[in-house]
Amino acid sequence: MHNQIRSLVLLSSLGLASAVSVLAPRVVDVDSCPGYSAKNVKESSHGFVADLTLAGKACNIYGTDLKDLKLEVTYDSETRLHVKITDPEGKRYQVPESVVPRPTDKASGSDSKSDIVFDYKKSPFSFTVSRRSSGEKLFDTTGNALVFENQYLRLKTNLPTDPNIYGLGEHTESLRLNPKNTTRTLWSRDAYGIPQDSNLYGNHPVYFEHRNSGTHGVLLLNSNGMDIKLRNTGDKYSLEYNVIGGILDLYFFSGPDPVEVAQQYSDVIGLPAMMPYWSFGFHQCRYGYRDWIDVAEVIANYTVAKIPLETMWTDIDYMDDRRVFTLDPQRFPISRVREVVDYLHAHNQHYIVMVDPAIAYQDYPTFNRGVDNGILLKQANGSIHKGVVWPGVTAYPDWFHPSTQPYWNNEFKTFFDAKTGVDIDGVWIDMNEPANFCSYPCTDPEGAAKEQSLPPARLPVRDIPRKIPGFPSTNGVHPRAEQSVQTVSELPGLAAMPNPPTTVSTDKTRPDNSKIDLINPPYAIANDANGISDRTVDTDIVHYGGFLEYDTHNLYGTMMSDTTHGAMVNRRPGLRPLIITRSTFAGAGKKVGKWLGDNQSSWEQYRWSIPGMLGFASFYQIPMVGSDTCGFGLDSTETLCARWAMLGAFNPFYRNHNQDSSASQEFYRWPKVAQAARNAIDIRYRLLDYIYTALYAQHTTGAPLLNPLFFKWPKDKNVFAIDTQFLYGDSILVSPVTAKNVTTVEIYLPDEQLYEFTTGKPVRGQGKKVKLTNIDYDQIPVHIVGGAILPLRAASAMTTADLRKQPFNIVIAPDKDGRASGALYLDDGVSIEQKETTYVQFSYAKGRLTVKTKGTFDAGVGVAQITLLGAGKKGNVVGLLSTIDDAGVRVVKATKSLVQDWTMDFDV
C-alpha cells in the first residue's frame, strides 16, 4: 500500500534493477561441472540413503563446491516421494519445522508398491522419478550436472514437449506458464502495481505439471532466494532451479488427478484454516479515509444504497502519525471509533483495521515494550536495525524470538480490548516482506524519512459536515478534544530516540559468515530491486536462534501471520480470526487468507486477477483469496468497476479497496456499479453456504474450493490454458467479460449438460467456444455444471447474520444421465472448535432425491423449496404441488428438515 510519490520512486528503481540483472551473472556452461558420484548405498524398507562425492575437479562457478553430500530417498506413502540432498553433517540451513512442520506420519510406501518410482545413475549422478503404471518419466535430471555450492544450488529436469506447467508463485502471469522462456524469481518484495514477469510479495516453490496421462506435483521446500527457469532449446524443454542457499528438499506427488495433487500437497504443507462464515460477506476499505466521519458516511451510504456491507475496514489512516497500535487522537478519537464499531456490531456487521510489522523508532509504549523485551532485529553490534516505513524511522520484530508472541499478544489485547479499545473482528497485515522505503545501504534512515516526508502530512482536522444517518453524535459534536486509546499524545515532541546502549546479543551464538557474501551473493537472482537487501531488511541480519535473514527472508510474512493468528486467538479465545496478509510462503493458509496486493485499476489487471486468485486457492492451499476489486492504484471507471464488482463476487475474499491518490470507488458512486454490486452480492449470498461447504472440504481434505477448468476436465486439451473462466466450487462455471467496454464474450463450454444460473435454462455444451452477446455491465455469465445439487439460500440479505435466517432452496441440476449429487456443511460459523455440526449429502437418480444427514447442529431453518432443472413439460411431484416454467424448471414448495433423512420422488 503506497502513496503516489512512493510508487514513482519504486517504478524508477525497476529500470535500474533491469540494468543490474543484465550485467550481474557471468555466462557459464553449468553442465561442464563434474557433478557427483553415488556411493555407499544403504537400503531400507521405505527407501535408501547414499553418499554423493564430487566426480571431478571442482567447478566453483558461484562459490565453493561441496565435496561430499548426502542423499536420502524416502517413499513417504504410495503417492508421495521425498528426495533430500544436503551436507553430510546436516548443518546447512533448512526451512525450520517451527514455520513449516513436516508430516508426522511414518513412511508407509516402498519402491515396489508406490505410484511413482525413483531410479538413479551412479556416475555422474542423475535421477528420474517415473509413474509406475506407465513408466513415464515425470522428473529427469539425466544429462544435467548437479551443482551444490556454499551459495548456489542447481538442479535441472528435462520436460516433455510444450509442457503444461502451473504454479511457482506469487506472480502476475497466465495460469499456464510459458514453457519456452519464463523465469520465476522467488524473493519477497514490496511490488507496487504487481507487474508481470517480476517477483512479488510471496513465494510458493511448487508446480503442477499436467499431461494427458495425469497430473503430478513437485515441491522444493526451500525458502532461500531462487530463480526457477523454464526454457526451450530446439525441441528440448527444461525446468531449472537456481538457488542461493539451503538444501534440495524435494517432495513429489503422484496425483494422477489434479485435485489429488492438491490434496497430496496439503498433506505436506498443511490444510487451510476454516474461516468465519461472515468473512464471505462483502468488505469495503480505502487508503485515504480522512477521519472517522468518512468511515461513518461510507457505512451509512451503503445502507442507503441498499448494497449489503458486511465488514468495514480502515487502512493506516486511523493511526497517530502512522504508528502501529495508536489512534489519531483528533481524526480517529477512541470514543468515535468505538461508536463506529458499536454501530457495526449492533447491525451484525464487522470491523477490521491494518497492522504493519514496522514499529516507529520513537518513544512510545509499543516501541518501548519491544526494546524492553529484546524482540527487535539487531545489527551485529547489538544496536537495533533501522528501516524507513510509514511512520518514518522504524524497527522490525524478530518473529523467531520466543518473547515476540507474548509481546504481540499484549499489544493486541491492550489496543484491541473489547471494552476499552478498538474491538476488531479481524485484522489486516501488510508490508510484511518486510518492506523498507530506504534504499540499500540505508546509512541515514532519519535523512531518508525526512526526504520522503514520512510520516506523510494529514489533511486538517475538520468539523462534522453533515448529519450521518445512524450516528447521533454527528449532530453538531466535534471530535477534536478526544484522546487516543494510547497515551502517546502525552509525550511532548515525540522526538526520535537515539539507539539504546549497544550490547552484544546473548540470544544465540552468531554464526561465522566470513566465507559467504550475505549481501551480494555470487549468483544474482532476478530480484526487481537493486540487490537482495534493497528496500527490505538487510540480509546479513541474524535472527534469534542464529537464523540468517539471507535464508529466512521469504518466511517473514508467514511468521508474522502465525504470530498474529496467535494474538487474535489470545484476545478472543475460541473464535476463528479472519486475517488477511500480503506476504506468504508455503503453508501460510493454515492461519491466514491473502489479498493479491497493490494492483492497478486497469482491464489488464482485472483479467490477471483470475489466474492470480486460482494460483493461491487451487495450487497453494490459501483459499481465502481475492484482488482489490476495481483496483488499488489509478482511477477506476464506471464500466471497469461494474465488471469487477461482478467478478469480485466470485473471489472467496471480496473487498473493494483503493488508494488515497485515486478517485473514490465505493460501489454506490456510479449507477451501473451500484446495480452490478446488488446483483453480484445477491448471487454470492444465495451461494454462500455452497462455497462455505467447499471451504470446509478444502479445510478437511485439501480439495480446492476454486478450480481451473482442467481440474474438472483433465482430459480436455482445450481447457489446459484457459484462465479467463474458472469453477467457483466444483460446479459453478464463471465466465466473465474480460475485454474493455464490450457486452460480448467468447467462452468455452465443455462437453457437458449445463444450466444458466439465473434462469435455469438447459445449455448443452459441445466442447467448443460459443459467443455470448448483450451481457450488460450488471451481469456475468454463470452456469451450473450438470450433475450438481446446490444448497442455495432462498433469498439474499443485507448481512450474513440475516442470511442465515433464510431457508434453503435445493437446486437439482442433473447431468446428461439424469444424476446429481451435492453436500451442505452447517456449523455456528465462528467457533474454532465446534460443539455441533451437520453434514448433509444429497443425491438424485431415477427421479428420486435422497437426503442423508449426519450431525446434530440445527441451523434453525429447513428446506422451503426444491428446484429441479431440465424437468421438461411432463409429470408431477408425488404428493406435492409444483410449477414448471418454459425453461423446464420445476419449483416445489416444501417443508423439509436438515436434521433428519428424507426422500422425494419426482415423476419424470
Catalogue the active-site residues. 430, 433, 598
Q: If we measure between CA atoms, which residue out of 184, 201, 296 comes closest to residue 627?
A: 201
Q: How many C-beta atoms surround the C-beta of residue 836 within 10 A?
A: 12
User: Could you tell me the sign of the dihedral formed by the alpha carbons of 147, 148, 150, 151, in that order?
Assistant: positive
Say how far apart CA 7 and CA 3 lie, in whole Å: 6
779-807: burial string, b at 16+ Cβ within 10 Å, e else:
bbbbbbbbbbbbbbbeebbbbbbebbebb
**How far apart, in Å, are the Cα atoms of 21 and each of 65, 78, 524, 546, 683?**
24, 43, 7, 30, 47
Q: Rg of the chain's alpha carbons, rounded to an integer?
A: 28
- Cβ-proximal residues to 464 (8 Å cutoff; 6+ apart), any chain: 293, 474, 476, 477, 478, 479
Relative to beta strand 768-772, strand 782-785 is: unpaired
Say how far apart CA 363 and CA 798 lie, in whole Å: 44
**Which residue shows C-alpha cell 502519525?**
321
Say how far apart CA 219 and CA 208 lie, in whole Å: 9
For residue 883, give the C-alpha cell: 410449477
* CA angle, residues 568, 573, 576, in degrees to nearest 5: 60
For residue 80, give the C-alpha cell: 508421495
- Do residues 431 and 388 lie in contact, with contact meaning Cβ atoms separated by under 8 Å? no
**DSSP codes, 163-219:** -EEEEEES-SS-SB--SSEEEEEE-----TT--SSS--S-BEEEEEEEETTEEEEEE
Say how far apart CA 42 and CA 40 lie, in whole Å: 6
Altogether, the residues listed in the chain come to a count of 908
Say how far apart CA 458 and CA 821 lie, in whole Å: 56
For residue 199, give the C-alpha cell: 517477483
Say how far apart CA 358 and CA 389 lie, in whole Å: 7
User: Could you tell me the sign of the dihedral formed by the alpha carbons of 13, 14, 19, 24, in that order?
Assistant: positive
HSE (CB half, 13 Å, CA atoms) of 647?
29
Element (DSSP H or E) covering residue 841: strand 838-845
Say how far apart CA 753 and CA 888 lie, in whole Å: 14
Secondary structure E strands in 624-781: 625-626, 628-629, 654-656, 706-707, 726-728, 732-734, 745-749, 753-756, 762-764, 768-772
Backbone angles phi, psi at 69, to 5 degrees: -135, 170
Three-class secondary structure assignment of 374-389: CCECECCCCCECCEEE
Q: If we measure between CA atoms, which residue out of 581, 575, 607, 610 comes closest to residue 594?
A: 581
- Do residues 732 and 787 lie in contact, with contact meaning Cβ atoms separated by under 8 Å? no
- Cβ-proximal residues to 907 (8 Å cutoff; 6+ apart), any chain: 847, 874, 875, 876, 877, 878
**DSSP codes, 311-335:** EEEE-GGGSBTTBTT---TTTS-HH
Backbone angles phi, psi at 840, to 5 degrees: -110, 130
Backbone angles phi, psi at 803, to 5 degrees: -60, -40
